[in-house]
Amino acid sequence: MPEDLAKGRALWVAKVVAGRRYGANPGEAREARAEREQPAPAEEGYRSIGGNEQTGPMFDREIVDRMGPEFYHDVFHPAIERAVRDGQRYEDIRDSIRRDWK
C-alpha cells in the first residue's frame, strides 16, 4: 500500500476507535458505524469521516505534528515498526510501547 494511503487508513482507524471509546459527534459515529458495516473497500482510495477524506497530509498534521515530529520519527514510528516486524498485534503492543514513555 502506498505510504500516503497507509497514513490515511491509520488516521481513519484511529478516529473510528477513538469515536467508539470516547464518543464522537453523532453524525460521525453513525457514518463510522455505517462504513464498518459495509464490505471492506478495495485497497484503493481513501476512507472518509464526516465527509473528509483521511489522507497522508492530514495524518501528518493531526498525528505527527501533535506528537512532535522528533518524537514520532525517533521513538514512536521505530517502536511500531519493530513490533509489526516481530509479528505483534496492535492489541498486544499498545500498552507495552507506552509503558516507558513518561
pLDDT of the residue at 41: 53
Query: pLDDT tens-digit profile of 21-32?
Result: 665 555 555 666
pLDDT of the residue at 6: 92
Residue 52 three-state SS: strand
Residues of the chain scoring pLDDT < 50: none
CB contact set of 31 (below 8 Å; sequence gap of 6+): 48, 49, 50
CA distance 41 to 51: 16
Q: Would you kindly state where each structural domain of the chain is located, as residue ranges?
A: 1-55, 68-102
